[in-house]
Amino acid sequence: MNPFQPGAEIHTGDPFAPVASEKSPIRRLRGRFGAAVSLWTTPGPAGLTVSSMLVADGDPGRVLGLIDEESDFWDAVAEEGRFAVTALTDADQQLADRFAGLMPAPGGLFVTGAWTETEFGPVPAGAATWAGCTLDAHRPYGWALLIEATIATVHLGEPAPPLLHHRGRYHRLAH
């Protein structure tokens, strides 16, 4: 078949993705656990899509997250000491991809979309649920940086289906 005919595909997958047998078994294990996708932002502004995170109830509440130590987000958090964590929804796939570096962001990450400025960092305008956090500690953890923070403020809107990530793809929560 001619690859330039309508309906023909040149390839069926990501041509840059390593084959499964070459991926770390730990990474493959992690991919089998579904995770909610969040956006972490800080004054500067800087931001990063994060799915390796945990919210711990307590007095005070805490947030733990694994982030890229070489990210602009970490540089800004290390300087500012505070950040916002926004729960992303099904409608936020492009936003998640942009802040994960998977989608172009001409002019910068915050040029597209409307933002609400907070003392913890910009939050997507209309975001229903977000928390303002203060950085407590950080340390290398595996190939990431584990950051620990105290939740200083919580904003809860109407519950919305979360954006879920499983085995390299976004999924919708079945109702």
- Bridge partners (DSSP) of residue 159 are none
What is the predicted pLDDT for the residue at 175? 61
By CB neighbour count within 10 A (0-12 exposed, 13-18 middle, 19+ buried), where does 24 fall? exposed
Segment 84-107 shows an average pLDDT of 93
Q: Structure pTM? A: 0.85
Is the CB of residue 145 less than 8 Å from the CB of residue 75?
no
**5 vs 122, higher pLDDT:** 122
Is the per-residue pLDDT at 8 higher than 70?
Answer: no
Closest CA to 127 of 118, 136, 135, 137: 118
Which domains does the chain possess? 20-170 (2.30.110.10)
Q: Across all residues in the chain, what is the average pLDDT? A: 89
CB of 85 closer than 8 Å to CB of 77: no
Distance (Å, rounded) from C-alpha 112 to C-alpha 106?
A: 9
Q: What are phi and psi of 52, to 5 degrees?
A: -90, 80
- List the one residue out of 168, 123, 152 whose CA is nearest residue 61: 152
Question: From residue 149, how far is each of 103, 104, 134 by CA, in Å?
Answer: 28, 30, 5
- The reported pLDDT for the residue numbered 82 is 98
pLDDT of residue 53: 96
What is the rounded distance in angstroms from the CA atom of residue 108 to the CA atom of residue 114?
Answer: 13
What's the confidence (pLDDT) of residue 2? Answer: 53
* Residue 118 amino acid letter: T
Give pLDDT, residue 12.
59
* pLDDT reported for residue 16: 61
Round to whole Å and give the CA distance between 170 and 90.
9
Average pLDDT over residues 116-139: 97
Q: 123-124 and 82-87 as β-strands: parallel, antiparallel, unpaired?
A: unpaired
